[in-house]
């Protein structure tokens, strides 16, 4: 049975919206939190997919942006909740509990770090790129562990979820709504981006840098811009993830998380718009279902992942639509 | 800051470096010959450590434990090569990363299932436990000196194997041109399994040796794995000589950075702040080193220039 990719995409988004609403009717807040987790992981992987899927750059350090977003939220909210202004030398900042401000800071800081990391990493390619992004991720991980001012290894707890104007974000379904709306907006923008001249150039840069250069474009620059956009989106997801748990810790920077983000994309399908979203849903569902069955659920996850790599190239979307590659 | 402390730290750095070399040598050979990124290499290290703990615990002989470590890791390596890895040689790096990531999950949970979640402890045999006094009056653990000696011996052995034996010629030929050596009648898939098992045995040996100074536990392989990757990237992927130089650089940087950076910052900062800044920066120092090397030479110190 072959399914049209657009139908498939619409069904997934519909399911993601319907499940929490059903859970709300059944009064099962845990399910709503679970879906919110899937939505946020999906957002992080959508960011990574710009680099990994569209641009063909395998970044093994995207947890770095996830963590930066998380810590942006943690630090701002920590200063607001302890009433200790953040001293930035030239001026002091009170900290904030306002989500939009936190999101903006998370995205801007992630983008700036992505600019620096991208400038250095994009000098390399292939395996070296994988390894250097991994190394940058580890650098942040160890920095967060030894940063005693913000909890070091123990991380930071934020007592009350941050505010969004007009909503009570502590109600699970309202927070879910915020996250889901962001995911939809980002997906829409990424779809537009992919079809834009920039997206086409990025696709070309993935296939052949030399050809892009002969067209008068600078492939490095295109890849760098993609890396920055990708970092900003993953950073935003990090801020939301921190708000979901009301907790940030160095584990948000861990290389396992970078690996999991790659896993999400591959489960769904590399370079597909909705690949990361489907991957995140499946991953969270597996984690929950297998985790309830046995303590050793990682074994089954491992076996499933192996089967996907060995037998289902193109991920689940590839399997459903009967097209192995996302790129025509 | 006495000279005794400095020499001790340099020895610690060397010890850490040669153990990293045991890990990195296998990784770099596997990448050089087969073009495969093996994230599961850390799991083979863990397999070695657990095999040593189990066999040494049952028989009372540490040496038997180490032999068991190499055999178990080589077997595990050969099995995953034949069942899984073999299908990945032509796959993109992304698939290799994911499949070997999956293998880590399987190995870690499998070991937890067999041995439980609690760390095991290994006893060092009496002959090589305790300190020895080096010239200059430095008391240093014999076991750590033994590790340095074993590491150097393996490095020399590996060099002889690669430069002076028939298998070594095949390995070097395999790095240069796979099709050609297949055409010359070498059974390439057997060679691949052999190289993989050899790398695995070295990782297992490292696991068993290091397991005696740390605890043997699930997930012990991953931090070492990441450092081993840093090592081979610094050295140039595929180069055993590069892995050796890289391993010593990383071992020394990591160990000496942790001791001397806080001291360095004390020169111009107050003690508490210097301690914090120093330890924060020293924990990142290895990665900073790697960044600098890659910016200077994007394919590592001894990597092939493209």
Segment B203-220, tens digit of pLDDT: 999 999 998 888 898 888
**What's chain B's average pLDDT?**
87
Query: Mean of the pLDDT values across residues A306-328?
Result: 75
Answer whether residue A1 shows pLDDT above 80.
no
Answer whether residue A240 shows pLDDT above 90.
yes
Answer whether residue B1 shows pLDDT above 60.
no
- Selection from A111-120, A319-328, B132-141, B161-170 with the highest mean pLDDT: A111-120
Tell me if A58 and B229 make a contact (CB, 8 A cut-off): no
Tell me the DSSP string of B154-207. HHHHHHHHHHHSHHHHHHHHHHH-HHHHHHTT--HHHHHHHHHHHHHHHHHHHH
Tell me if A302 and B112 make a contact (CB, 8 A cut-off): no
How close B81 comes to chain A (CA, Å)? Answer: 13
What digits encode the pLDDT tens for the residues B54-68? 999 888 888 999 999
Q: Quick check: A127 contacting B, CB < 8 Å?
A: yes
Question: Which residues in B lie closer than 8 A to residue A143 (C-beta atoms)?
Answer: 280, 283-284
Residue A164 buriedness (CB in 10 A; 0-12 / 13-18 / 19+): middle
Answer whether residue B119 shows pLDDT above 70.
yes
pLDDT level of residue A307 (50, 70, 90 thresholds): confident
Tokens of B212: 């005696």
Question: Which residues in B lie closer than 8 A to residue A124 (C-beta atoms)?
Answer: 294, 298-299
Contacts of A171 (CB under 8 A, 6+ apart): none
d(CA A221, CA A209): 11
Question: Which residues in A lie closer than 8 A to residue B280 (C-beta atoms)?
Answer: 142-143, 146-147
**What's chain A's average pLDDT?**
88
Per DSSP, the three-state class of B240 is helix
Nearest-5° angle of CA A181, CA A184, CA A186?
110
Q: Chain A to chain B, count of Cβ pairs less than 8 Å apart?
A: 125
Question: Which residues in B lie closer than 8 A to residue A259 (C-beta atoms)?
Answer: 39, 97, 101
Q: Quick check: B273 contacting A, CB < 8 Å?
A: no
Q: Which among A127, A145, A299 is the nearest to B109, CB-wise?
A: A299
Q: Which among A58, A120, A138 is the nearest to B94, CB-wise?
A: A58
What digits encode the pLDDT tens for the residues A178-224? 999 999 999 999 999 999 999 999 999 998 888 889 988 999 999 99
- Specify the pLDDT at position A328: 45
Q: Quick check: B295 contacting A, CB < 8 Å?
A: yes
How close A268 comes to chain B (CA, Å)? Answer: 13
Tokens of A144: 């967060």
- Selection from A127-131, A175-179, B133-137, B178-182 with the highest mean pLDDT: A175-179
What digits encode the pLDDT tens for the residues A249-264? 999 999 889 999 998 9
Which of these, B148, B136, B139, B141, lies nearest to B3 by C-alpha position?
Answer: B136
The region of weakest confidence among A37-41, A258-262, A297-301 is A297-301
């Amino acid at each position: 049975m072959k399914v049209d990719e657009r139908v498939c995409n619409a069904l997934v988004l519909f399911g993601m919206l319907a499940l929490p609403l059903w859970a709300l009717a059944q009064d099962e807040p845990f399910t709503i939190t679970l879906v919110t987790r899937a939505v946020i992981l999906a957002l992080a992987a959508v960011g990574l997919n710009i680099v990994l899927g569209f641009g063909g750059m395998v970044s093994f350090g995207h947890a770095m942006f996830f963590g930066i977003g998380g810590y942006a939220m943690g630090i701002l909210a920590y200063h607001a909740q302890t009433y200790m202004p953040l001293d930035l030398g030239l001026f002091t900042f009170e900290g904030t509990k306002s989500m939009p401000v936190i999101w903006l800071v998370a995205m801007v800081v992630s983008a700036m770090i992505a600019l620096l990391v991208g400038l250095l990493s994009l000098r390399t390619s292939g395996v070296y790129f994988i390894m250097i992004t991994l190394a940058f991720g580890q650098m942040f991980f160890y920095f967060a562990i030894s940063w005693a001012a913000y909890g070091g290894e123990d991380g930071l707890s934020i007592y009350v979820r941050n505010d969004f104007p007009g909503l009570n974000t502590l109600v699970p379904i309202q927070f879910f709504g915020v996250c889901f709306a962001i995911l939809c907006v980002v997906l829409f923008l990424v779809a537009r981006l992919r079809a834009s001249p920039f997206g086409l150039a990025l696709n070309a840069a993935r296939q052949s840098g030399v050809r892009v250069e002969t067209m008068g474009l600078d492939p490095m620059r295109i890849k760098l811009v993609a890396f920055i956009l990708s970092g900003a989106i993953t950073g935003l997801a990090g801020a939301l993830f921190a708000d979901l748990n009301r907790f940030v810790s160095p584990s948000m920077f861990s290389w396992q998380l970078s690996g999991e983000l790659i896993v999400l994309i591959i489960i769904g399908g590399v370079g597909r718009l909705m690949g990361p979203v489907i991957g995140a849903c499946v991953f969270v569902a597996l984690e929950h279902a297998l985790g309830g069955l046995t303590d050793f659920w990682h074994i089954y996850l491992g076996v499933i992942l192996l089967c996907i790599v060995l037998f289902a190239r193109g991920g689940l979307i590839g399997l459903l639509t009967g097209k192995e590659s996302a790129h025509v | 800051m006495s000279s005794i402390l400095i020499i001790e730290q340099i020895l610690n750095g060397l010890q850490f470096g040669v153990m990293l070399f045991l890990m990195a040598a296998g990784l770099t050979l596997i990448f050089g010959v087969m073009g495969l990124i093996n994230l599961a290499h850390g799991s083979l290290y863990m397999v070695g450590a657990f095999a040593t703990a189990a066999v040494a615990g049952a028989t009372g002989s540490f040496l038997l434990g180490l032999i068991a470590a190499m055999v178990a890791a080589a077997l595990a390596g050969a099995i995953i090569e034949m069942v899984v890895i073999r299908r990945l040689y032509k796959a993109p790096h992304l698939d290799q990363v994911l499949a070997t990531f999956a293998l880590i999950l399987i190995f870690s949970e499998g070991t937890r299932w067999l041995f439980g979640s609690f760390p095991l402890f290994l006893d060092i045999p009496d002959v090589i436990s305790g300190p020895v006094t080096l010239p200059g009056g430095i008391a240093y653990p014999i076991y750590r000196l033994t590790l340095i000696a074993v590491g150097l011996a393996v490095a020399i052995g590996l060099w002889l194997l690669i430069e002076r034996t028939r298998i070594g010629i095949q390995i070097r030929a395999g790095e240069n041109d796979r099709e050609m050596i297949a055409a010359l009648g070498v059974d390439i898939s057997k060679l691949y399994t052999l190289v993989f098992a050899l790398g695995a045995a070295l990782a297992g040996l490292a696991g068993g040796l290091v397991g005696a100074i740390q605890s043997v536990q699930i997930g012990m392989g991953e931090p070492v794995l990441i450092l081993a990757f840093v090592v081979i990237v610094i050295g140039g992927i595929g180069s055993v000589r590069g892995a050796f130089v890289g391993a010593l650089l990383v071992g020394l940087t990591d160990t000496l950075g942790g001791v001397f950076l806080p001291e360095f910052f004390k020169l111009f900062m107050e003690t508490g702040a210097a301690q914090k800044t120093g330890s924060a920066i020293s924990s990142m120092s290895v990665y900073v080193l790697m960044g600098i090397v890659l910016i200077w030479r994007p394919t590592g110190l001894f990597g092939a220039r493209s």
